[in-house]
Amino acid sequence: MAPKIKDVAAKAGVSVTTVSRVLNGEKYVKDDLKDRVNRAIEELGYTPSRIARSLVRRKTNLIGVIVPDVTSSFYSTILSSIEKTASLSGYNLLVCNIVEDTDKELKYLNVFQEMRVDGIIIMHEKMNDEIREMIHKLDIPLIFSSVKPANQKFVSVIIDDYAAAYEATRYLVGLGHERIAFIGGDMRDVTSGQNRFVGYSNALEDSGIRFDGERIRFGDYKTQSGYDLMKELMAAESRPTAVFAASDDMAVGAMNCVHDLGLKVPDDISMIGFDGSWLADQVRPRLSSMEQPIREMGETTVKALIALIDGREDAPGQDIILRHKLVERDSCKYIGRT
Amino acid sequence: MAPKIKDVAAKAGVSVTTVSRVLNGEKYVKDDLKDRVNRAIEELGYTPSRIARSLVRRKTNLIGVIVPDVTSSFYSTILSSIEKTASLSGYNLLVCNIVEDTDKELKYLNVFQEMRVDGIIIMHEKMNDEIREMIHKLDIPLIFSSVKPANQKFVSVIIDDYAAAYEATRYLVGLGHERIAFIGGDMRDVTSGQNRFVGYSNALEDSGIRFDGERIRFGDYKTQSGYDLMKELMAAESRPTAVFAASDDMAVGAMNCVHDLGLKVPDDISMIGFDGSWLADQVRPRLSSMEQPIREMGETTVKALIALIDGREDAPGQDIILRHKLVERDSCKYIGRT
DNA sequence: CTGAAAGCGCTTACAG
DNA sequence: CTGAAAGCGCTTACAG
């Protein structure tokens, strides 16, 4: 059996209260007692139980995080940033990878509650009524990161997805493109689905370009769907000359499709992604992308959540909007003035 | 304040023992009592505290996992598989992303101990004496996944890295290559560093090819180091005609370097990776790779760890070796009989 | 089938 | 500066 605080107290010849005090670095413990306690801890190889401590303090130092897919180039990076910031602040992560399984999300939310986590980060916006009801009655500080689901009262750390998508599309227009296709996310997703789509279509409209439903496709943000959807787009009678994809992973899938068709990006087709993840820089041609400040987003999320947990005055009362940035690489080509 | 078991008992007019019984699904509770308890739970919105339960049961259902880098195409996938299997078995993951920070690993190992996790999975093999000593006195079931550090008594779930590297190299030789470069991992890593390197050099020797130190480089498994090292290799007076990289990420970095130099894979240089991660399939040309059964590896790891935790008879007493497989894609070219 | 009581391993007023 | 005692929210023999 692992030694407990009682054993340390006995060995050091003091009360458990005193041991607890040196454990928690309180002052008001005479140096010689402190020494005896530390020696006893050392000799016994004692490690305090966070479980017991959490129970009495009603504080676990745990953050539950729900991520759609850790293998995504975007989510793995934001998760990495969240983990780093949390760890530096003394919090540990309980991670749930839901892979689009809404039941799993619900189940995990319940686990988070039972574990009495101090806070929750959700990076998923496919809400249903059960989930919405659940998070609203949870009574645990909660924050959304990189997404903003509809009809909920929680703060999100996001970029302005509408503006970002608008600018990405205008960039393509500026390069002379008119037949601009869109590979979007799920339209049930407010942030990455709807907002990016509306940004795209408004940019088209403001540019005097006719909106063509044939050039719109919706996928699941992953490479495979980018590939498949691009195939459909390329089968049309009037092919697009440029494509805006709502995630870098989908854009890369689309680029691969173009390659496999024997065509070239950007000579035959320009391509712009969204996220600015590491993948954009690791494909050839390098993918131009509307970049989100991914690591900053993760860091900001954790800091805001901790402010919420601590009930601090600077805890966010509304969404935190981070800056996006167009990063030009090698996947878009100028094809003449419109 | 969240309701506790006592509140439920009071509301239902039974003892806390009875509430605990229905919570844990024991029989020997009359139906009408059970109904009253369930109704009280419902009305109060009661959720049991796992913290309290863990304290008395001395079982947390937590698994601590140490991963070198969640953004890697290999580790993110194995982590995803671990999470899935653990979740299905009723375990939750406490994840630590160490990003090569040995101090962080040590710190987290300590956290795992304090949290009284039921088991630990380590996917990192850069041991130092402190870590080795720590894990040996930990008294928590522990297993290594995808790596096998030197001088420790724990079980690893791995492939035969030596044989896999040997075969990958022989494959290149079979294609007619003689100037075969190697981009390896850290030589302090037994599995992914030493074993893969020795497999490479023995394959060369057995093929009657002179070993050339100029064609050997060691990186950190990431794309950037593959890129940088490839640049060095290409600066040599006698360029390699083929490269074997010890991770897919490094191979992709190397391919990108070749591309940026204005050369072509596989026409100018053949390239083979190691891991068989999703990235191999998402670059163009598609990367041939010595594939590890990544998801199976994660699943096997968790199942073996749980067997260890439960002290079952079928708990592994020695390393579990999974099968590797050469997956030919489009990055290697036949250049004639040797 | 049901309940009173002890105990899991800590922390925290409270008293001195 | 130090300690005895109560309590965190559960489960588990034990007794009936």
Average pLDDT for consecutive 10-residue bins of chain A (338 residues)? 90 92 84 89 94 96 96 97 96 92 91 96 89 92 94 93 98 96 90 92 95 93 96 94 97 98 96 97 97 98 97 95 98 85
Type of residue at A107: K
Type of residue at B10: A
Spatial separation of the C-alpha atoms in residues B5 and B262, rounded to whole Å: 70
If you ran DSSP here, which 8-state letter would residue B320 be given? E
Helical pair B102-114 and B129-136, crossing angle rounded to 10 deg: 20
pLDDT score recorded for residue A336:
82
Nearest CA-CA distance, residue B69 and chain A, Å: 8
Spatial separation of the C-alpha atoms in residues B43 and B22, rounded to whole Å: 16
Contact B84, A98 (CB under 8 A): no
Beta strands per DSSP E along B40-197: 62-67, 92-97, 119-122, 142-145, 155-159, 180-184
Contact A181, A217 (CB under 8 A): yes
| Whether pLDDT at B338 is above 60 | no
pLDDT score recorded for residue B70:
96
Query: Residue with CA nearest C8 C1'?
Result: B56
Query: CA at A3, C1' at D16: how many angstroms apart?
Result: 36
pLDDT score recorded for residue A150:
84
**Tell me: domain A62-159+294-321, CATH 3.40.50.2300, correct?**
yes
Residue B222 CA, distance from chain mean position = 15
Contact B291, B325 (CB under 8 A): yes
Chain C: positions less than 7 Å from a protein CB are: 1-5, 7-13
Q: Can you name the residues that pair with A183 across neighbouring β-strands?
A: A217, A245
Nearest CA-CA distance, residue B207 and chain A, Å: 34
Spatial separation of the C-alpha atoms in residues A173 and A207, rounded to whole Å: 7
Q: Which residue in the block uniquely carries the two structure tokens 């054993």?
A: A7
Type of residue at A187: M
Q: Where are the domains of chain B?
A: 5-57, 62-159+294-321, 161-291
Q: Which residue in the block uniquely carries the two structure tokens 């608008």?
A: A166
Chain D: positions less than 7 Å from a protein CB are: 1-5, 7-13
Contacts of A28 (CB under 8 A, 6+ apart): A21
- Asked if strand D comes closer than 7 Å to A10 Cβ, the answer is no
| Minimum mean pLDDT range among B23-32, B50-59, B235-244 | B23-32
| Whether pLDDT at B146 is above 80 | yes
Backbone φ, ψ for residue B184 (5° rounding): -105, -175
The encoded tokens of residue A73 equal: 């180039």
Reading phi first (left if > 0) and then psi (alpha if -120 to 50, else beta), residue A135 is in alpha
Contact B40, B8 (CB under 8 A): yes
**The whole model's pTM is what?**
0.95
Backbone φ, ψ for residue A49 (5° rounding): -90, 120
Cβ contact A69–B50 (<8 Å):
no
Share of chain B above pLDDT 70, in %: 99
Residue B133 CA, distance from chain mean position = 22
Which residues in chain B (112-141) have CB-CB distances under 8 A to chain A?
A: 113-116, 137, 139
**Higher per-residue confidence, B273 vs A129:** B273
Type of residue at B155: V
The encoded tokens of residue B310 equal: 């439960």
Which residues in chain A (3-62) have CB-CB distances under 8 A to chain B?
A: 45, 47-52, 54-55, 60
Spatial separation of the C-alpha atoms in residues B136 and B139, rounded to whole Å: 7
If you ran DSSP here, which 8-state letter would residue B332 be given? -
The encoded tokens of residue A258 equal: 């173009």
DSSP B185-196: --TT-IIIIIIH
Nearest CA-CA distance, residue B195 and chain A, Å: 27
pLDDT score recorded for residue B113:
96
Instruction: Please determine whether the domains at A5-57 and A62-159+294-321 fall in the same fold group of CATH.
Output: no
Spatial separation of the C-alpha atoms in residues A31 and A35, rounded to whole Å: 6
Q: For residue range B275-287, list pLDDT tens digits in order.
A: 999 999 999 999 9
Q: C-alpha distances in angstroms, A10 versus A19, A28, A37, A40, A46?
A: 10, 20, 10, 9, 13
Type of residue at B166: Y
Confidence of residue B211 (pLDDT cuts 50, 70, 90): confident
Spatial separation of the C-alpha atoms in residues B16 and B226, rounded to whole Å: 61
Type of residue at A39: R
The C-alpha R_g of chain A, in whole angstroms, comes to: 26
Q: C-alpha distances in angstroms, B149 versus A41, A122, B126, B144, B153?
A: 30, 36, 7, 8, 10
If you ran DSSP here, which 8-state letter would residue B261 be given? T
Residues in reach of strand C, judged by a CB distance below 7 angstroms, are: A 1-2, 4-6, 16-17, 19-21, 23-24, 46-49, 51-53, 55-57; B 14-18, 21, 27-30, 32-33, 52, 55-56, 58
The three state secondary structure string of chain A is CCCCHHHHHHHHCCCHHHHHHHHCCCCCCCHHHHHHHHHHHHHHCCCCCHHHHHHHHCCCCEEEEEECCCCCHHHHHHHHHHHHHHHHCCCEEEEEECCCCHHHHHHHHHHHHHCCCCEEEECCCCCCHHHHHHHHCCCCCEEEECCCCCCCCCEEEEECHHHHHHHHHHHHHHCCCCCEEEEECCCCCHHHHHHHHHHHHHHHHHCCCCCCHHHEEECCCCHHHHHHHHHHHHCCCCCCCEEEECCHHHHHHHHHHHHHCCCCCCCCCEEEEEECCHHHHCCCCCCEEEECCHHHHHHHHHHHHHHHHCCCCCCCCCCEEECCEEECCCCCCCCCCC
CATH hierarchy code of domain A5-57: 1.10.260.40
Name the nearest CA neighbour of B285 among B313, B254, B261. Answer: B254
Contacts of A130 (CB under 8 A, 6+ apart): A106
Contacts of B239 (CB under 8 A, 6+ apart): B179, B233, B269
Spatial separation of the C-alpha atoms in residues B96 and A80, rounded to whole Å: 9
Tell whether A307 lies on the interface with B, counting CB pairs under 8 A.
no
Q: For residue range B72-128, list pLDDT tens digits in order.
A: 999 999 999 999 999 999 999 999 999 878 889 999 999 999 999 999 999 998 888
**Tell me: domain B161-291, CATH 3.40.50.2300, correct?**
yes
Count CB neighbours of A234 within 10 A.
Answer: 18
